[in-house]
Chain A
Amino acid sequence: MNAEERVIGAFTSRFGATGQVQRRGRVWLTVEKDRLLDVCRFAKEEMGFVHLSSLSVTDWVEDGEYELTYHLWSYEEKILLTVKTRIERDKPEIPSLVSLWGENAQAHEREMHEMFGVDYIGNPDLSPLFLEEWDGPPPFRKDFDWREYVRSEYYDVENPRERVYFGGD
């Protein structure tokens, strides 16, 4: 049994997760959303996955679900563990990982909240990170078409900000 299979075995026996080895150093794990925090705590504290490399959200709009992915790296095992879980698109709530990775998780979750509208319960600051004065829907959602948005909002529409440059009253 190689290191990748050992990692999967540890999680399946404890948390009932399903996993697969993609190639050397790549392990994908699917868990229930209620177990996410426990799985990540176990991964960090017992299995040595101390580095939260990245986290991401995929909008599966036809299934009505968001897929959250957490990419964890172990410096000892040299394995990238991706923990995946699905949440409902209408009620996008998930426990925050700030208690485990502090400011690292905080910044990542803040970005994902801004781009997808996922609520990370327990994150102290989910204020906008990149976008300024944006009051539309979270822009990385699949049902937001920015081409349509630009056409309706900016084509042949007077932009009040431009009055500063082009005169007017």
Chain B
Amino acid sequence: MGDAAEKPLGDSYELFLGPAFPGLGNFAVKLRMDGERILSAKADPGYLHRGFEKLMEYRLPIQNAVLSDRICILEALAWNLIHAEAVEELMGVEPPERAKYIRVIMAELSRIQSHIIWYGVLSVGIGFDTGFKLAFGYRDYILDLFEMTTGGRVYPAGYICPGGVRQDLPSGVVKRIPEVLRKMEEMVDLEEVDNPIIPSRLEDVGVLSLEDAIRLGATGPVLRASGMKTDVRKEEPYEVYDRFEFEVPVRQEGDGYARYLVGIEEIKQSIRIVKQALREMPEGDFIAREFRKPKLNVRLPEGEVYVRNEIGRGEAGLYLVSNGGTSPYRVKIRGPSFLHMIPVLEHLLKGAQIADVPAIYWSLNICPADLDR
């Protein structure tokens, strides 16, 4: 609001985008414009602020597992997993082997569907509506698997809970995953079709140099597209990621097209991981003995943990502090979009053309929900 009151810079004007603008998600950005060129951009988040960190201080881990779904709509299972890992590390509980494989399968399926949405929204951002429809059609195959496993298509309601997972993977799902993966390979083929729209709208748009990417705190596919080979799954393997073979795609260009290509390659690698996990998944329990019967008055031991995971959008973290009570004393959620949407987006929009705003915005693979929390 303060910016609007500033005296105008020559002929420049201020343009508000969002937060209820369909092309930009639930997020606003204020642009100072000179004709069609952006002089400066100021992110204005808060539309989806729900205060999860405070809410979690009032609730038990068994409730927080359900609440953790809501941190990001598009990657609910990944956030379930982070919350569960943080509680387990604090309590010193080790989930059974089978649970770890199920978690990896669900987390990777979640990454695939999230990356497919990324392709869809990026397509719509550059005026390629067919891509959007393809993406949301193919994503539904994975949502069917989620529904069969967790009962919810989008929100799994704490399926990945402290101690393991709430239900074993149904045999129907195990049979169906290979079919769905074939569909996903089909989707990747469609994404890789020689389509002149995509490079012509994304090449040299929103170029993020490696130096800027590190300084601004970019992670995940955004950082990899700027030339840094990094992946939390490789650097500090959680669950059973160290047992699988997969590549970490890297591009040097740092533009929107590089991020797009990294995204496609990551879908392929996730398909590889799911196949290996499905092949090697052992029999056994799916939840640790201590958690088999849900107990309400479980005390969290005094201490603090910081858990990092690689989710589709980048590095996700959860800082959990306990003073020995049944609820956490303090929770800090580190969503990858916080830095992608404030410093990185502001940096990339400066000097860009107004027509490139959706392309830059969506090429960062962002989720306003995990920014606002």
Query: Given A75-B230, A140-B54, are A127 and B2 also a contact pair (CB < 8 Å)?
Result: yes
A131 touches B46 (CB 8 A): yes
Residues of B within 8 A of A53 (CB): 217, 308, 315, 317, 334
Interface size class of A (residues with CB under 8 A): 35 or more
Judge whether B230 and A56 touch: CB under 8 Å: no
B283–chain A nearest beta-carbon distance, Å? 29
Chain A residues with Cβ below 8 Å from B2 are 127
Q: How far is the CA of A78 from the CA of B236 in the complex (A)?
A: 7
Partner of A54, one of B54, B235, B329, B332: B332
The answer on a CB contact under 8 Å between B216 and A104 is yes
Give residues of chain B (35-69) contacting chain A, Cβ–Cβ below 8 Å.
Answer: 45-46, 49, 51, 53-54, 58
Judge whether A103 and B49 touch: CB under 8 Å. no
User: What does the 1/0 interface line of B320-331 toward A look like (CB < 8 Å)?
Assistant: 010000000110
A54 touching B317, Cβ below 8 Å = yes
Interface 9-residue window, one of B8-16, B166-174, B341-349: B341-349
A150 to chain B, nearest CB (A): 12
Decide if B216 touches A139 in the complex (CB within 8 Å). no
* CB proximity of A126 to chain B, nearest CB, Å: 12
Interface set, chain B 269-314, CB cutoff 8 A to A: 304-306, 308
Q: Give residues of chain B (208-230) contacting chain A, Cβ–Cβ below 8 Å.
A: 214-217, 219, 228, 230
Whether A80 is near chain B, meaning CB under 8 Å from some CB there, is yes
The verdict on B372 contacting chain A, using a C-beta distance below 8 Å, is yes
| A25 B236 Cβ-Cβ under 8 A | yes
B119 adjacent to chain A (CB < 8 Å): no
Contact status of A54 and B319, CB under 8 A, knowing A104-B216, A104-B217, A130-B46 = yes
A107: chain B residues at CB < 8 Å are 338-339, 342-343
Q: Chain A 4-43 against B: per-residue CB contact (8 Å), 1 yes, 0 no?
A: 0000000000000000001011101000000000000000
Report yes or no: A80 in contact with B46, Cβ–Cβ below 8 A: no
Contact of A140 among B53, B235, B343 (CB under 8 A): B53
For chain B, what secondary structure do more than half of its interface residues adopt (helix, strand, loop), or is it mixed?
mixed
Q: Closest residue of chain B to A71, judged by CB? A: B306
**Contacting residues, chain B, for A140 (C-beta < 8 A):** 51, 53-54
Chain B positions within 8 Å of A51 at CB level = 214, 217, 219
A52, A104, A108 — most chain B CB neighbours (10 Å): A104
| A residues in contact with B216, CB < 8 Å | 102-104
Residue of B215, B230, B236, B330 touching A58 (CB-CB under 8 A) = B330
- Establish whether residues A58 and B329, one from each chain, have CB atoms under 8 Å apart when the complex forms: yes
Select A102's contact among B46, B319, B332, B343, beta carbons within 8 Å: B343
Encode contact with B along A90-129: 1 for CB under 8 Å, 0 otherwise. Answer: 0000000000011110111001000000000000000101
In the complex, A130→B341 CA distance in Å?
13
A139–B317 CB distance below 8 A: no
Residues of chain A contacted by B305 (CB below 8 angstroms): 22
Binding site for A on B (CB under 8 A): 2, 45-46, 49, 51, 53-54, 58, 214-217, 219, 228, 230, 235-236, 304-306, 308, 315, 317, 319, 321, 329-330, 332, 334, 338-339, 342-343, 346-347, 372
Q: List 26 A-B contacts (CB under 8 A).
A: A24-B236, A25-B236, A50-B214, A51-B219, A53-B317, A56-B319, A56-B330, A58-B329, A59-B330, A71-B334, A78-B235, A78-B236, A80-B306, A101-B217, A102-B216, A103-B216, A103-B347, A104-B215, A104-B343, A106-B343, A107-B342, A130-B46, A130-B49, A132-B46, A140-B51, A146-B54
Other A-B contacts than A54-B306, A58-B321, A146-B54, 17 sampled, CB-CB below 8 A, are: A24-B236, A53-B334, A54-B319, A56-B332, A58-B329, A69-B319, A71-B319, A78-B236, A82-B306, A101-B217, A103-B347, A104-B215, A104-B216, A107-B343, A130-B46, A131-B49, A140-B54
**Which chain A residues have a beta carbon within 8 Å of chain B's beta carbons?**
22, 24-26, 28, 50-54, 56, 58-59, 69, 71, 73, 75, 78, 80, 82, 101-104, 106-108, 111, 127, 129-132, 139-140, 146-147
